[in-house]
Structure 1
Amino acid sequence: MDVRPIRTERDYRAMLATVSRLIDMDPDPNSPEGERLEVLGLLVESYEGKRYAIAAPSPIQAIKFRMEQGGMTVADMRPYIGPPNRVYEVLNGTRPLSLAMIRRLRTLGISAEVLIGNLGATHG
């Protein structure tokens, strides 16, 4: 199997073309083509992770996104953050999230890593 690292955008495009051809073949995972597809897929994934990394959202962005996705209002956030004035303070970045808020917000499916990421930061 002739495998080389992806170092340039040109290498990346060529690798994607090869991976695409292999996917179209739908090889058995244990066949030489299937193993090649797995290895090349890992190389592509690694390159994309380094080259096209997406920064995690701020805690405030994550909360606002979850509210939007769930059709939630400020009033709906009471169980997670507290009374409306506190919700507005958090969403405006004038009040940091407390550990208790973070624990409750996790139940909405927002990762602790995102919520804790900038613990104490007041900008969103």
Structure 2
Amino acid sequence: MKWDKVITSEMEYQNALKRLSEIFDAVPDTPEGMEAELLVTLIEKYEKEHFPVSMPEPIAAIREVMERKGIKDKDLIPVMGSKSAVSLVLNRKRPLTIDMIRNLSDFLGLPVEVLIQPYEINGDRKVGV
């Protein structure tokens, strides 16, 4: 199959994946290497449109990064202002503030877009920036 258009169907997508697996290790700047690069671009476009990945919920994202990096609650005190602020936010009793979001983004390396999403406080109320 000649790849001269975007992928528009599941069958075309599966064919593109199959072909890419055949030529994945092709040398760059060769016809197969250029075809592989084109297929990656077409497949990524199709996947972005048909299989969108949702962003993680803010508090879950914070906890996941903390666990991965070995960060303890007490390590967030300078970032969030106080021990009680850390506890209240991580236990969903208080929402993140703009300053906390900025500081957490820098400290944890989380995108601001993740931290500003609405999330539940006290199990019922959604908050967000």
TM-score with structure 1 setting the length: 0.81
2:109 maps to 1:109: yes
> Which structure 2 residues correspond to residues 1-124 of structure 1 after superposition, within 5 A?
2-3=2-3, 4-24=5-25, 26-27=26-27, 29-106=28-105, 107-118=107-118, 121-122=126-127
CA-to-aligned-CA distance 1:7-53 (integer Å, 9 cap, x gap): 333322211110111114x23x3222222111111111111112222
TM-score with structure 2 setting the length: 0.79
Task: Give, in angstroms, the shift of residue 119 of structure 1.
Answer: 8.5
CA-to-aligned-CA distance 1:32-75 (integer Å, 9 cap, x gap): 22221111111111111122221111221111111111222221
Paired with 1:93 and 1:51, the residues of 2 have a C-alpha distance of 33
Count of aligned pairs: 121
Paired with 1:87 and 1:17, the residues of 2 have a C-alpha distance of 48
Over aligned residues, Cα RMSD in angstroms? 2.4
Paired with 2:53 and 2:87, the residues of 1 have a C-alpha distance of 27
Paired with 1:10 and 1:84, the residues of 2 have a C-alpha distance of 54
Paired with 1:74 and 1:80, the residues of 2 have a C-alpha distance of 11
Q: From the two aligned structures, give the one with the greater strand fraction.
A: 2
Task: Give 2:33's aligned amino acid.
Answer: G
Gaps of 5+ in 1: none
Paired with 2:30 and 2:18, the residues of 1 have a C-alpha distance of 20
Paired with 1:22 and 1:5, the residues of 2 have a C-alpha distance of 19
Of 68-77 and 14-23, deviating more is: 68-77
Report the CA distance shift for 1:94/1:122 in structure 2 as closer, same or farther (over 3 A): farther
- Contact 1:93-1:122 at 8 Å conserved across structures: no
